[in-house]
């Protein structure tokens, strides 16, 4: 009997927490316009519980009260909710495929537009720029790099990298097919490496919300890697539809290695360039 009572109490607490989180997300959307209601609940719950513990509060209702009345507090919460895991030439084989299979086709266009959606702090954007410089395509390319967070975009514009990461990034670069001296692409000051201005010159950084904002522009390629895994299935399908509408015919879509087009309504609009590396071409 005691065990049944304990289980019932645990379930009730879980249901109360679920309701409080739903109300918190609704409050965030109505007050600030950021829509996290279709994000993966497991990921959101972990991040929100961490913030709850750091603030020393007992319930998400307390957090909701603060969010509605303190925009500075919400800005800090937004940073917690934003996914900030990235690195230069992440998954090097993906860049090798892009260099070998995609770049030669992009070279047939007089001008190329590339959208990095959910660009985080810019490491993968600058990786793309380096590859395009080496392939002689950068002078006629514009890269649009967007993220939901103003503070993350500000970091991306700076192009500063902790020096301790450079060794791993150099390894990634060479595994991705780079044959130059990676050190030519940055300068060092103190504990940071700063991406060279030559690499930044054709990158436009701006905020964009994949959940609530519309088509960004007509693009030859969209890169959105390791972002969709934080959305539920419905939101994934909606965002993939946005990418399909954004791409010109024969444009390319590059997703994260754990993401897929298979369930999306727009899947028939694409053919795979590399299923393993989740690189696709829009065919209609």
Separation between Cα atoms, residue 226 and residue 139, nearest integer Å: 28
Q: What percentage of residues in the chain have a pLDDT greater than 90? A: 64
Q: Is the pLDDT of residue 77 over 50?
A: yes
Average pLDDT over the chain reads 90
This prediction's pTM: 0.84
3-state secondary structure of 180: coil
Q: Is the pLDDT of residue 10 over 60?
A: no
Separation between Cα atoms, residue 45 and residue 255, nearest integer Å: 24
Chain length of the chain: 284
pLDDT at 169: 97
Q: What is the pLDDT of residues 251-264, one digit of tens each?
A: 999 999 889 898 89
Res. 83 pLDDT band, cuts 50 70 90? low
Res. 271 pLDDT band, cuts 50 70 90? very high
Between residues 185 and 60, which one has the greater pLDDT? 185
Q: What is the pLDDT of residues 144-159, one digit of tens each?
A: 999 988 888 999 999 9
3-state secondary structure of 114: strand
State the average pLDDT over residues 192-221. Answer: 92
């Amino acid at each position: 009997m005691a065990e049944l009572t304990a289980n019932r109490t645990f379930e009730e607490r879980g249901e109360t927490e679920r309701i409080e989180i739903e109300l918190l997300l609704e409050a965030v959307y109505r007050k600030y316009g950021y829509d996290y209601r279709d994000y993966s609940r497991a990921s959101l719950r972990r991040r929100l519980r961490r913030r709850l513990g750091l603030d020393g509060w007992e319930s998400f209702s307390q957090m909701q009260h603060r969010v509605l009345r303190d925009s500075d507090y919400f800005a800090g919460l937004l940073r917690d909710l934003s996914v900030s895991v990235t690195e230069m030439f992440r998954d090097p084989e993906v860049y090798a495929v892009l260099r070998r299979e995609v770049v030669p086709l992009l070279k047939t266009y007089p001008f190329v537009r590339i959208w990095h959606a959910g660009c985080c702090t810019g490491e993968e954007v600058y990786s793309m720029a380096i590859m395009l410089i080496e392939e002689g395509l950068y002078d006629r390319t514009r890269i649009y790099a967007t993220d939901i967070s103003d503070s993350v975009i500000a970091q991306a514009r700076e192009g500063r990298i902790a020096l301790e990461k450079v060794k791993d990034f150099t390894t990634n670069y060479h595994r991705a097919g780079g044959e130059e001296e990676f050190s030519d692409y940055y300068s060092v000051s103190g504990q940071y490496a700063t991406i060279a201005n030559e690499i930044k010159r054709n990158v436009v950084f701006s905020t964009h919300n994949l959940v609530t904002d519309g088509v960004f522009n007509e693009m030859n390629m969209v890169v959105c890697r390791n972002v969709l895994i934080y959305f539920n299935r419905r939101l994934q399908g909606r965002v993939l539809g946005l990418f399909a509408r954004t791409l010109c015919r024969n444009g390319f879509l590059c997703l994260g290695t754990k993401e897929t087009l298979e369930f999306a309504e727009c899947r028939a609009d694409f053919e795979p360039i590399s299923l393993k590396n989740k690189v696709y071409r829009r065919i209609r």
